[in-house]
Amino acid sequence: MKIRIPAIWARRGLKSLGVVISIGIATIAFIALSKALKGVDFAEVLAAMRLTTATSIALSLGLVALSYGSLTLYDWLALRMIGRGDIPFRIAALASFTSYPIAHGTGAVLLVSSTIRYRIYAPYGIGVADVARICFLTGLTFWLGNLTALGLSTLYEPEAISRIDHLSPGLNRALAIAVLGGILFYVGWTWNGSRRFGRKHWAVPLPSGGNVFLQIGIGLVELGAAALAMYVLIPTGADIGVARVVVVFIAATLLGFASHAPAGIGVFDATILIGLGGEHNEPLLAALLLFRLFYHLTPFVLSLLLFGTVEFCRNLGRRKLSQVV
């Protein structure tokens, strides 16, 4: 006799498992962060921040701008994949730039990003189902780019990830090959363009052929620019190579997303300090705090102001129209 588990129970079970995993990641990360911060002289951290050169700050800000600029291509590409290439690029850029920092900054990525995108796209005739498709496709671009970058950088620098997962470099290199092999399998599986995800009116046609490589390319540029934005803030005396920064940065980003902590707080920081830190963490912590300011806090505030302004102007326009009518 076969026992069938109702679909709703299965979904609840998966959701509960996700919550447990997220809490577990956050708990382990905060314990690791407290250990990494032991003995840190915060006066030296502030001094290191003041010693950061104007050139390094300018380079970091430029790379942050490049990262967020490439992020706007997430929605632009997704709109074309669902057959809405008529939406102006400025609207796609607005949706990307406002939804990502606010959603990531609050930790409720799916809920917040979907709501913001719906508010922005609704006047252009994009409904709930299409917003769900856009969110799925932008998420797919993010994960394809991140996993490709993680696999390639781990192949080159497996020792860096070993400091985080405590596995041997050889095993980490084997895992990287498996990840890259999985991506190649996905590319081959979707190549003819006939694959779909979901059912009925919620189904999403998966990107195929060149679009998959375009997704990977956009993800690599966005993530690579963000990692380099942090790398240029690390003092040269720390002797930390760019490949090591990239692989640890990607791992920190993915763990931060998995934890659902606002802006990956605690999880991202602990991973960076464990993966890149040494005997004296003050210069690295200074670079991390500056990066947080440039990449997370500033875009979060700007996106809130921008989205608030758009909503205010639209509501004001509706009131004026209702008064005329």
**pLDDT band at residue 68 using 50, 70 and 90 as cut-offs:** very high
pLDDT of residue 34: 61
Q: Judging by beta carbons within 10 Å of its beta carbon (0-12, 13-18, 19+), is residue 310 exposed, middle or buried?
A: middle
Is the pLDDT confidence value at 281 over 70?
Answer: yes
Q: Residue range 165-192: average pLDDT?
A: 91
Is the pLDDT confidence value at 121 over 70?
Answer: yes
pLDDT of residue 173: 93
50-62: pLDDT as tens digits: 989 999 999 999 9
User: Exposure string (b/e) for 26-41, b if CB count within 10 Å is 16 or more?
Assistant: beebbebbeebeeebe
> Can you say how many angstroms the Cα of residue 36 is from the centroid of all Cα atoms in its chain?
24
Is the pLDDT confidence value at 18 over 60?
Answer: no
pLDDT of residue 55: 94
Is the pLDDT confidence value at 27 over 70?
Answer: no
Q: Which residues lie across from 204 on neighbouring strands?
A: 197
**pLDDT band at residue 195 using 50, 70 and 90 as cut-offs:** confident
**pLDDT band at residue 10 using 50, 70 and 90 as cut-offs:** very low
**283 close to 48: Cβ distance less than 8 angstroms:** yes
| Sequence-ordered list of residues with C-beta below 8 angstroms from that of 154, at least 6 positions apart, any chain | 160, 161, 172, 173, 175, 176, 179, 247
pLDDT of residue 31: 64
Is the pLDDT confidence value at 2 over 50?
Answer: no
Cα Rg of the chain (Å, integer)? 21
**pLDDT band at residue 1 using 50, 70 and 90 as cut-offs:** very low
- Pick the residue with more confidence: 90 or 239? 90
Is the pLDDT confidence value at 181 over 60?
Answer: yes
Q: Mean pLDDT of all residues in the chain?
A: 84
Least confident of 100-109, 195-204, 225-234: 195-204
Hey, what are 209's tokens?
Answer: 């052929």
| Sequence-ordered list of residues with C-beta below 8 angstroms from that of 225, at least 6 positions apart, any chain | 63, 64, 66, 67, 70
Q: Judging by beta carbons within 10 Å of its beta carbon (0-12, 13-18, 19+), is residue 324 exposed, middle or buried?
A: exposed
